[in-house]
Structure 1
Amino acid sequence: MSVISQLVYSLPKENSQRMGLSLRVRRRGGNKKEIIPVTSCSEETEITIPSQFLCPISYELMKDPVIIASGITYDRENIEKWIESGYQTCPVTNTVLSSLEQIPNHTIRRMIQGWCGSSLGGGIERIPTPRVPVTSHQVTEICGKLLAATRRGDHAVCSEMVGKLKRLGKESERNRKCVKENGAGLVLCVCFDAFSKNAKASQLLEETVSVLTWMFPIGSEGQSKLTSTSSFTRLVELLRNGDQNAAFLVKELLELNVAHVHALTKINGVEEAFLKLINRDTICVNSLVSIHHMILANQETISRFLELDLVNITVEMLVDSENSVCEKALMVLNAICETNEGREKVRRNELVIPVLVKKILKITEKKSLVSVMWKICKSGDGSEVEQALRLGAFKKLVVMLQVGCGEGTKEKVTELLKMMNKVMKMNGFVDRSDSSSIEFKHVKKPF
């Protein structure tokens, strides 16, 4: 709760008539208007909102007025935040609430709606009638019907119940929280597993996956259902069709338990499915994270990914992708460089060193970038070090040390600088890249 809000709670009620009531309305198009702060614009008209229409917490026009046990009316969103912060008192009267139940104030809501459309309200667009939040009983009832229909194999009823849960979640964050807290996650996992072998249940499974994306973390029982052979096979099929929700779901499962990674790598065609998602205009970051987990957990997958040209795809991704994508791509390259085969494949790509040098000072998280450069320079024939030098890597790496980095990264940077210094001495090479003079106070001598 902000300091301002707490101060507002302590103000006498009559002060509300002197605070935040002067507003102006501006035409948005046609006859519709919106409320904005008071300005000097000549096209705006000043209006005054009746104090009884203002929430005592936010002093804004109430969209969903509700009465609490003290008899005071608040906007539902504001009083819920107050209660969720741990308070069990009325913000205005400071009395302890005998019940935390919130009852819609239909009278005030109708008065606000009427005022909005009247001349006194300046023709402000009517606030849509809010939906009543879902209750635990309603969620439990829906989940019960979904579970029973799943056991019967009733595809139609399952689709109807999953659709209801999805609509509830779209209405409000409160609804999502209520759905999640009342066991919907496990029931959805059971449903997905039960229909995973049904070729005609594609629409149901896609809808189930979309709802499951806001159910994490799920318990071990739900995980076991989603990671069965049939469920994983169906998730891979969804990946192959470009389903971003399935990509998120798989990534979350892999991060929960390494055993899930081993189970996924046994599914035929999983590598192709992930590559299809990252080799497109809109790169799926979740798929990059999943590929990273797979390579780290099972190095046999590196060979399969290398055959599918993962190195070239990932390096091209680094050229002009946004920071977050580049960082995940570098994590994948770093994992690939754990094997001799992987390092050799990375070294063969002519873009690797230029891209790495270009990104040294542009990437926020530099650990993977430095690790990739260190691995290919240390295991190479020296040409990679010389190329990095000619591209201005030396001074950029020194800047990295001055700015600061992790201990492990610092050691690799220092070793890279020593390798570069050795090449400069042997070949009489001078780094002529544009840069201001740099103090090498963090670098171990000699240079």
Structure 2
Amino acid sequence: MVREKRRENLCVTVPTLFRCPISMDVMKSPVSLCTGVTYDRSSIEKWLSLGHNTCPATMQTLLSTHTTPNLTLRRLIHHWLLHPDMSPSPPLPLPPATSKRQVREIINGSVSCDSLSKIVDFMKASEENLKFIAFSDDAVSKFVEFFGNCKEIEVCELIVELLDLILSENGAKEKLNSLILKSNKDSLSSFLLVLREGSVKSKIKSARILELIALNSESQRKIAENGGILYELYSLIAVEKDRLAIQAGLSALLAISTSRPVRKELILFGIVKTVGEILSNTNTVRAVIEKALGILEMVATCTEGREAISEDEKCVVEIVRRLMKCSNVATEHGITVIWSVCYLARDQTAQEKVMKVNGLTKVLLVMQSDCSVSTRQMCRELVKVLRVKNSKSCLASYETKTTHIMPY
């Protein structure tokens, strides 16, 4: 009886603020979306991994799927859980809010972990506070300058979080591009440190920042030429299992790898095999599939890339399997890759792989779908080259339900 009563009290006395809006359980690791709603990390990451792009509580479309740890709420929950009887208690007072005057004093003084934590909390407190920092040239310049000279991973991670918050404001990409890439400070080395030694969350934010400041060919070249960054971004998709980390790594590589030398370097890393593994995973979500196929389309522009795609055991087969099953974007990327290896390169190994998995039927279906003019033209050219692989009839390998489709 006592135990039942205690469980009853527990259910009644759990503060609503401490419950995850999805699971309704007490949050273990509260994180906030860009809408301001806080969820337990495991619940919201599961929601996002299913391909949703909305806030579950408000159903607003998310401008960003990045989450921010709600440290204050986590401290409150932790304090509440420490009470052995789990009885109701007065709420733990929130730490005093940092004022704009105090922020100015921090900016004009020395930078430390404690001062940076206060700045980050200040920025998260309101949109007004965020804009106050984002549009302060002195503040942003000082943080970037300090970042370029910093070798402490904890401090670097805090500055990365701060810069990631700033990126949501108008003109921030251009400002950070100028400060990070055109200054004499070695900020890229600090990004490399975070990508090597930081938490997964910090790596994701670093990749996002690098992607968004790669505004032109000069910026892309500077980032790619910095020793190690390209490989660490590749490692983010090859080693990490976190879906958001893989997506961030692919996005950054797509933004940075615009030159032939960089693409050849990625091929040497093993990007084709890694992407093949990603595509073969049945749990891979749409956003990741689209970016993975985008990477393959990018590397297929060079001879080495086409050869690697043709020789890989999974790539061509998985591309054909994904046609018409993910999105129009993914299908058009996929057709371009198949066209590059089968028609442009005339690779017989790739042609045979396509035919073995009924690829000709898929190409015909894509050609009859609502695809772009260029994709439809590539499909026509693929039909011409693939029909040669069948000596009996160009329709011999078609499935019954598609024999009515004429290739021309």
TM-score interval, normalised by the smaller of the two chains: 0.5 to 0.7
Does structure 2 conserve the Cα–Cα contact (< 8 Å) formed by 1:28 and 1:34? no
Q: Confirm whether residue 279 of structure 1 aligns to residue 230 of structure 2.
A: no
Does structure 2 conserve the Cα–Cα contact (< 8 Å) formed by 1:265 and 1:301? yes
Query: Aligned to 1:269, which of 220, 224, 228?
Result: 228
Q: Report the Cα distance in structure 2 between the residues aligned to 1:208 and 1:327, rounded to whole angstroms.
A: 30
Does structure 1 conserve the Cα–Cα contact (< 8 Å) formed by 2:311 and 2:349? no
Query: Aligned to 1:292, which of 237, 243, 254?
Result: 254
- Return the offset for 1:131: 7.7
The residue number in structure 1 matching 2:326 is 363
1:7-406 mapped onto 2 (5 Å cutoff): 29-32=10-13, 138-139=99-100, 141-149=101-109, 154-156=110-112, 159-170=113-124, 172=125, 175=126, 177-184=127-134, 186=137, 187-199=139-151, 201-216=152-167, 217=169, 218=172, 220-227=174-181, 228=183, 230-242=186-198, 243-254=203-214, 256-280=215-239, 281-282=241-242, 283-296=245-258, 298-320=259-281, 321-364=284-327, 365=329, 366-378=331-343, 379-406=345-372
Seen in structure 2, the aligned counterparts of structure 1 residues 167 and 248 have a Cα distance that, compared at 3 Å, is same
- Return the offset for 1:192: 3.0
Deviations 1:44-79 (A, max 9, x none): xxxxxxxxxxxxxxxxxxxxxxxxxxxxxxxxxxxx
- Return the offset for 1:181: 1.8
Seen in structure 2, the aligned counterparts of structure 1 residues 406 and 193 have a Cα distance that, compared at 3 Å, is same
Does structure 2 conserve the Cα–Cα contact (< 8 Å) formed by 1:336 and 1:342? yes
Write the letter of the residue equivalent to 1:252: L
The residue number in structure 1 matching 2:45 is none
- Return the offset for 1:335: 0.9
Does structure 2 conserve the Cα–Cα contact (< 8 Å) formed by 1:226 and 1:232? yes
Structure 2: give runs of 5+ residues left out of the alignment: 1-7, 17-87
Does structure 2 conserve the Cα–Cα contact (< 8 Å) formed by 1:295 and 1:336? no
Aligned residues: 312
Structure 1: give runs of 5+ residues left out of the alignment: 1-26, 36-124
Seen in structure 2, the aligned counterparts of structure 1 residues 414 and 432 have a Cα distance that, compared at 3 Å, is closer
The residue number in structure 1 matching 2:377 is 411
Does structure 1 conserve the Cα–Cα contact (< 8 Å) formed by 2:273 and 2:312? yes
The residue number in structure 1 matching 2:388 is 422
Write the letter of the residue equivalent to 2:346: G
Q: Report the Cα distance in structure 2 between the residues aligned to 1:402 and 1:126, rounded to whole angstroms.
A: 66
Report which of the two has the higher share of helix: 2
Deviations 1:273-332 (A, max 9, x none): 112211122242121122122222x21112222221121111111111222111111111
- Return the offset for 1:161: 3.1
Write the letter of the residue equivalent to 2:234: L
Seen in structure 2, the aligned counterparts of structure 1 residues 160 and 377 have a Cα distance that, compared at 3 Å, is same
Q: Report the Cα distance in structure 2 between the residues aligned to 1:237 and 1:209, rounded to whole angstroms.
A: 11
Aligned to 1:376, the other structure's residue is in SS state helix
- Return the offset for 1:219: 5.7
Write the letter of the residue equivalent to 1:415: E
Q: Report the Cα distance in structure 2 between the residues aligned to 1:358 and 1:284, rounded to whole angstroms.
A: 21
Q: Report the Cα distance in structure 2 between the residues aligned to 1:346 and 1:386, rounded to whole angstroms.
A: 13
Q: Under a length normalisation based on structure 1, what TM-score does the superposition of the two structures give? A: 0.62
1:1-12 mapped onto 2 (5 Å cutoff): none
The residue number in structure 2 matching 1:84 is none
Aligned to 2:165, the other structure's residue is in SS state coil
Aligned to 2:117, the other structure's residue is in SS state helix
Q: Under a length normalisation based on structure 2, what TM-score does the superposition of the two structures give? A: 0.68
Which protein has the larger Cα radius of gyration, Structure 1 or Structure 2?
A: 1
Does structure 1 conserve the Cα–Cα contact (< 8 Å) formed by 2:195 and 2:233? yes
Structure with more contact order per residue of length (Cα contacts < 8 Å, sep ≥ 6): 2
Seen in structure 2, the aligned counterparts of structure 1 residues 206 and 334 have a Cα distance that, compared at 3 Å, is same
